[in-house]
Structure 1
Amino acid sequence: MAAQINPMTVEATAIDGLLAITTKAVTDERGTVREFFRTSGFAELDVAVPDRWSQINMTWTRRGAVRGLHGESMTKLVGLAWGSAFGAYLDARPGSSTYGVHVTMRLEVGTQVLVPPGVCNGFQATSEGGCQYLYCFDAEWVPGMPGVSVTPLDPQLAIPWPIDLDPADPALISAKDAQAPAFGAGA
């Protein structure tokens, strides 16, 4: 079998600066190699990225659990190493032309999202066995850093989480996320 090469693609979303990315993948008899990040690949598609990533985290999240919505003052590149998830993003940047717009999308291995500073990022693990979610940050996370948190349960946003969520179950949502303010309530 000759290697099959699927190029990296980038698609704009309804939120200014929030980009949905399909990673470059090379597949042969042995499996697939995906480029999670290559500076020149982003440059070839005119996507501005930080000069360097300062912190990379990977979470394992159980099926049905939600993390977010968090909008720190840093650029994030997020994607999955394993499994599938449902991503939710909210523009919480005052003065942004898309302030208050929220976008949802299904995430799988090979799908990434470039999240600008101040845009809230959240997700729900949807695959059996949960998911492994990668975060690349252009700044190190520190307690109390500037940013906003919005409850993923905000009835005004009405995010259509694909798996029912019990707000009292700490295995599905942290108390901090469940009790974060609604978007219009000082988030």
Structure 2
Amino acid sequence: MKAHPTSIEGLLRIELDLQLNADGWFVESFHRDKLLAAGGPAYDVVQHNVLAIDRAGVLRGIHAEPWDKYLAPSAGRLFVAIVELRANAQFGQVECFELAPGEALYVPRGCGNSFCTLEPHTVYNFLVNETWSPERITVDPFDPELAIRWPFPRAELSYTDRDASNPPLTEVRAQLV
């Protein structure tokens, strides 16, 4: 496991040791001690969630919950956009990644997470260090200020009305000040 810092404080891009074999592959998608040894935080998982999506172009987010997240696909590929939503000098900064099996992200609380499936039959795992609660900060994934270049035109994306009606970044910024 190798952890690489990004331009957003605390956000780590993680390379996992994907081992190919005659039947497919094996990966240890999360190992607390190895994450710590690679420079990551001491991360105590409370809940492991799995989301399976049948088609490409499904978009979810942007959501910043009051917990840290460890994201790793086990099938398919994801486009992930992380937005800094903590009240600091980096507020509004966006980092985008493509993730496939063998790759992961550690997302600190306060950073908004969003993703779009790039392939059908994508399986997305996320581990969290707090149990679910409805508390969260949301932002419009299509906000021009964020300028996220989604991998499909908006008309071809599948998203919830709730996500599309999230407030723009300017409203979130005003609430944090």
TM-score normalised over the length of structure 1: 0.86
Other-structure match for 1:184 = 170
Counterpart-to-counterpart distance in 1, 2:133 and 2:13: 27
Which entry has the higher C-alpha Rg, 1 or 2?
1
Aligned to 2:84: 91
Q: CA deviation at 1:161?
A: 0.4
Residue ranges of structure 2 left out of the alignment (5+ in a row): none
1: distance between equivalents of 2:21 and 2:3?
24
* SS of equivalent to 1:99: coil
Aligned position for 1:164: 153
Distance 1:64 1:46 in 2: 33
AA aligned to 1:66 is L
**Counterpart pick for 1:81 among 74, 94, 98:** 74
Q: Which has the larger share of helix?
A: 2
Cα distance in 1, alignment partners of residues 42 and 17 from structure 2? 17
Q: Which of 119, 123, 128 is the aligned partner of 1:137?
A: 128
AA partner of residue 26 (structure 1): Q
Given that 2:69 and 2:106 are in contact with CA atoms closer than 8 Å, whether structure 1 keeps it comes out as yes
> What does residue range 23-172 of structure 1 map to in structure 2 within 5 Å?
23-50=16-43, 52-61=44-53, 62-95=55-88, 97-127=89-119, 129-143=120-134, 145=135, 147-166=136-155, 172=158
Contact 1:21 1:111 in 2 (8 A): yes
Find the partner of 1:174 among 140, 156, 160: 160
Q: Check whether the contact 1:64–1:165 (CA below 8 A) recurs between aligned residues.
A: no
Q: 1:30 to 1:11 in 2, by over 3 A?
A: same
TM-score normalised by structure 2 residue count: 0.90
Alpha-carbon distance in 1 for matches of 2:33, 2:27? 15
Corresponding letter in the other structure for 2:118: T
Aligned equivalents of 2:42, 2:170: Cα separation in 1: 30
1 CA distance for matches of 2:20 and 2:117? 26
Q: Deviations over 1:102-134 (max 9, x none)?
A: 10111111110000000001000011x241111
Counting aligned pairs with the same residue, the percent is 27
CA contact (8 A) 1:64 1:164 kept: no
**Aligned partner of residue 36 in structure 2, secondary structure:** helix
State the shift of 1:28 in Å.
3.2
SS at match of 1:185: helix
* Residue 31 of structure 1: how far off its partner (Å): 3.1
Deviations 1:4-45 (A, max 9, x none): xxxx22111111110000112233334321011112211221
Q: List, as ranges, runs of 4+ consecutive aligned residues in structure 1 with deviation greater than 6 Å.
A: none
Tell me, in whole angstroms, the C-alpha distance in 2 between the residues paired with 1:23 and 1:54.
Answer: 21
